[in-house]
Amino acid sequence: MLKSIAGAFVLAIVANASAGAEPAGPVKILIVSGGCCHDYPQQRKLLESGLKARMAAEVSHVYHDPRAGEKATRPALPIHGNPKYADGFDVVIHNECAADEDSAAVLDAVLAPHRAGVPAVNLHCAMHSYRSGDWKKPVTAGAPNARWFEFTGIQSSGHGPQSPIRLTAAGTGHPVAAGFQSYTTASDELYNNLAAFDVTPVLYGIQPESPVAADRARTYTVAWTHLYGPRRTRVFSTTLAHNEAVMADPRYLDLVARGVLWAVGRL
């Protein structure tokens, strides 16, 4: 049986209540998804049901399904023209894949609520979005093409062939990893790490069965946290879950739920 740590969330809530703490309302979550390369309708369902099973949550969605003839790597997400898109939410989950969206104005709008203090959780292809300039080389803090990576925390430029990823806790003592037990995912993409911006690693990943020999020896940070911008906004990110089989794993949903709760200060 897959070990779940969701019960720890209930115990924490009970402990707070018994200590006389004011009962917290549901976490108001906005999930942004859409773009190329993934089954976002299915992922939206998996994330919403998984989070609601692990915490009191109200989940809303911003989603754009690219139409015929539209370049899916530049999805016309409504948030791209609305810097106030996160008003009223406790946290935004970025699960979009806007790989070729390089507009500075779009990036201004996407980052605006997080610079103002709205916590964020970034999943998988979010790390490969909003890229500009020569993003295949390590960026420098403060450079125009570093802005998105300074928000996500780690710059990634690509991945090798899909293969199971062996996950281990990073050993940093981060609360998101509390109770985590190593396991191997279904086939997934292991994103590389080109540059990091003062992150705290949560999980490491390696692909021991990769068909590329060089990849079998490469260990990358696959989940981490950091504090972003002038408000020191909490941000949790994981590069895992290209495929729905990985996302549907209760252990992955536990990880994301703990990332959400940490981001909003309820873990």
Q: For 148-183, how does the pLDDT look when each residue is reduced to its tens digit (9 = 90+)?
A: 999 999 999 999 999 999 999 999 999 999 999 999
For residues 211 and 59, give the distance between their C-alpha atoms in angstroms, rounded to a whole number.
39
- Domains of the chain are 27-157+223-264 (3.40.50)
For residue 143, what pLDDT is reported? 97
Phi, psi of 208, deg, nearest 5: -70, -15
Give the pTM: 0.91
Q: Which of 20-34, 72-86, 236-250 has the lowest mean pLDDT?
A: 20-34
Assess whether pLDDT exceeds 90 at residue 7.
no
